[in-house]
Amino acid sequence: MFILQHLDQTIKKMRTQAANLLTILNLGLGAFAIIFILQGQLYTSLLFICLAAVFDRFDGIVARRLNITSELGKQLDSLCDLISFGVAPALLLYSAILYDFGTPGAIFTIIFIACGAIRLARFNVSEHYGYFVGLPITAGGCLLTISFLLVEAVPGPLFMWITLILSLLMISTFKVKKV
């Protein structure tokens, strides 16, 4: 009887952490993306960022379905999103093309990461039900990541503009309906 009670408590505890586990998987995939960027394996990095987006989508769904949303989960999700959709995509594009522009390329990379951090911080301290204010960092990071596929086909300076526009969209005040 004691073992069954302990097992039941363990299962309940694991259930309450399901969304956070998916969030940590998002973080791990983003970290792997960065590691592969450092190794020059940019297409592998792109794959890991895309996988991180899948787990990021599922963590929110699981939290709502199981009714296990928490302030800790919200903060954890934002910190992980900054790595997976701020730092990793910015470094991917920097390694692929922005590096060629020297200091300005580095500055645009940092601007993207900083705007992502500002966007996430603003999200965490405000209550907006049914909509986001500004472009969500997941969308911005995924768009920046996908733009990497155009490096061979598009003039290099355009990527500085793409990075800047996505950065400004993240900190803008337009509303995006939550899906």
CATH number of the domain encompassing residue 46: 1.20.120.1760
Distance CA 68, CA 81 (A): 19
Percent of the chain with pLDDT over 70: 90
DSSP state of 119: H
Is the pLDDT at 10 greater than 80? The verdict is no
Confidence of residue 6 (pLDDT cuts 50, 70, 90): low
Residue ranges making up the domain that contains 9: 2-177
**pTM: predicted TM-score of the whole model, two decimal places:** 0.89
Cα angle 111, 136, 56; round to 5: 110
Summarize pLDDT for 124-154 with one digit per residue, the tens. 898 777 788 899 999 999 999 999 999 999 9
CA 145 centroid distance within chain: 11
Contact 80, 141 (CB under 8 A): no
**Domain count for the chain:** 1
